[in-house]
Amino acid sequence: MTTFITRRLAIGLVMLLALSVLVFILLRLAPGDPIDAYVNPTSPLSPEAMQALRERLGLDAPLPVQYFGWLRTAITGDLGYSIQRVGVPVLPLVMERIGPTLLLMAAGLIIAIVVGVAGGIISAVRRNSPTDIGFSVVAFIGISSPAFLTALLGLYFFSVQLRWAPSGGMLTPGMGFSMSDLLAHLILPACLLSIGHAALIMRYMRASLLEVLNQDYVRTARAKGVREFFVIVKHAVRNALLPVITLIGSTIGIAVGGAIFIESVFNWPGMGLLLVNAVETRDYPVIMGATLVIGACVIVVNLLTDITYAAVDPRIQVA
């Protein structure tokens, strides 16, 4: 297990390096100039002042020099300083926002897992029944609905029209922290984030459980007189969960993309909203730092998924 974890972490470091190179190149290919964030449109700077500012920020150096300069400091944990927020270090800014994003993603994934697994089990047990058909229709709608559309529709119906949930933010302005207030702001964006993942987990769980229910050991358990409830729960569900666990781990990256839309629509103070604001202002250090932290989180989650997969099925060797 130690060898496996070490090897996976080494691969993860190579992936992070490749990700940083890719993001750096894409940022430089994108139109616009980060210097614009410093310039007041009503009082533009002279060309000499613009050049001096560019030199101070290191944007006048060749691209390889800029990248390796950033990489050299990033290895030490220094991700530079924000261009938009003058003098603010990137790492504390990112770490301040990662908590709300993890909270939102964790709540959304928990809802997705519970709803998806339960719906998949019910759909498989009642195969080809009206319940199964209804669940399948709902799942297909959920899979085909993009995150930005569900976020906007959810905001309009549940916050604007029905007023069942707050329309944005993480806490009510002017009020002290309370768990009930946090949950009131969390429940709607978390449910909207979970829709696509719950639908996908439901379809995978249904297909996997149907395959397991046709295995010989399940028929043997039934022939021995084991109650159908225990046949499903004890013998079938555990083995049917194996591909679902892999699916859950692989959807973490997709959940990050969905969280960006959800946080933008609901003004949730997380990594997604930070990235959107950084892209709008061409804040290169914040974009690089946030992307690096998100990539590291995804790699760690995938590693934990592989370990969980091996724990659920002892036949799997991770060495």
| Tens digit of each residue's pLDDT (9 = 90 or more) over 209-240 | 888 888 888 888 888 887 878 888 777 887 88
The fraction of the chain above a pLDDT of 70, given in percent, is: 92
CA angle 173, 291, 32 (to 5 degrees): 90
Indicate the pTM of the whole model.
Answer: 0.80
Check: CB of residue 285 under 8 Å from CB of residue 90: yes
CA distance 72 to 75: 6
What is the pLDDT, as a whole number, of residue 34? 67
* pLDDT band at residue 312 under the 50/70/90 scheme: low
For residue 52, the one-letter residue type is A
Q: What is the CA radius of gyration of the chain?
A: 24
Q: Name the percent of the chain in helix, strand, coil, to the closest 5.
A: 75, 0, 25
| Phi, then psi, of 8 in degrees rounded to 5 | -65, -35
Residue 89 DSSP label: B
The model's confidence at residue 168, banded by pLDDT at 50, 70 and 90, is: confident
Euclidean distance between CA atoms 45 and 48, whole angstroms: 8
Confidence band for 310, pLDDT divided at 50, 70 and 90: low
- pLDDT per residue over 92-120, tens digit each? 888 888 888 888 888 988 999 899 989 98
For the chain, domains (ranges, CATH) are 2-75 (no CATH), 92-312 (1.10.3720.10)
Q: Is 270 helix (H, G, I), strand (E, B) or coil?
A: coil
pLDDT in tens, 171-219: 887 777 788 888 988 899 999 988 888 888 898 888 888 888 888 888 8
Q: Which residues contact 267 (CB under 8 A, 6 or more apart)?
A: 168, 169, 273
pLDDT on residue 115: 92
Cβ neighbours of residue 142 closer than 8 Å, sequence gap 6 or more = 195, 196, 198, 199, 200
**Lowest model confidence (mean pLDDT) among 137-146, 173-182, 264-273:** 173-182
- 293 pLDDT higher than 70: yes
